Structure 1
Amino acid sequence: MSRLLKSVALVALLSAAPASAKDADYIDNRSSAEDVVISYYNAISHGQFARAFSYGLRAAPLETQVELDAAFEAFGDGYTDVEQIRVRLGTPLSDAGAGGEMAAIPVILQTRDSAGGKTVEAACHYLTQLSPSAQDAVPFEPIRIERTSRQVINGEFATVDMPDCSF
């Protein structure tokens, strides 16, 4: 599926209102950096914050369970009042290195809260993928979101420029 079609499909998917329709539109795909970001926002739109949070976890976390629990709670708190989320993906950037690849996915998102207020944000998701052929031990490291930067911006969701997500 082309990047444009993925972006259009994602906006339509995350804007769907009925819970039963949302349940039928479950996406969990780690085939590419774009697919991980789409899956991440799909999880948020379903209120599945543990799934969304997991797209940024290492197979063998470096944090203690207490640190993970605190980070997860803070992550979920950022979306507690979100009733709808719309997402536009920009053109991905990538940079290959020894044994892996980094990708940057620019995103424009619009959230609507329970009071009907709308917020438009620019986000950059930076993802890491260790070369699958170089991994010969368990646990396997899938593509994951290494870090995200988000900023509230002025402008219309459909027309505002994508953020610069240069490395």
Structure 2
Amino acid sequence: MSTDTPWLAADEQIAWRTYLRGVAVVFEALNKDILDSDNLSLHEYEVLSRLSESPERSMRMSTLADHLVHSRSRLTHTVRRLEERGFVSRTVCEDDRRGVNCNLTETGWQALVKAAPSHVRSVREHLVDKLGHDQMIELGSLCAKLFDDDVAL
């Protein structure tokens, strides 16, 4: 072991592992709930949600990957599944023929509208109600410190 590495103190190590477990537990619960209620994965729901908030319900694939913090490959697989269900379509970017846009279809919009209430209930149950409003806002502020880019939430 290198002696010049500033190892985590015992309480920092506990906090780190607790953070990892907390994120995994919440993600798994949210993913299970939305799969059970709407036959969508949490990743698929997030793609639909981000597209719904974009101008013309469309976003360049590379930008969408950045917003979701997904690899291009992972996003491509998710979008392919959504495309097979008629929820999204892909088109060549008008301004840059090398790029591809992902577009929310009307079918995708309707799936999102149907899934949103149960997803919000799940977020409240597994996170907001457990933390309370103030700690939820604090969690958001703390997490914002973890990234230093200009990607819109």
Q: What range is the shorter-chain TM-score in? A: under 0.3
Q: More helix per residue: 1 or 2? A: 2
TM-score by length of 1: 0.25
Query: As a proportion of its length, which structure holds more strand?
Result: 1
Instruction: Name the TM-score, length of structure 2 as normaliser.
Output: 0.27
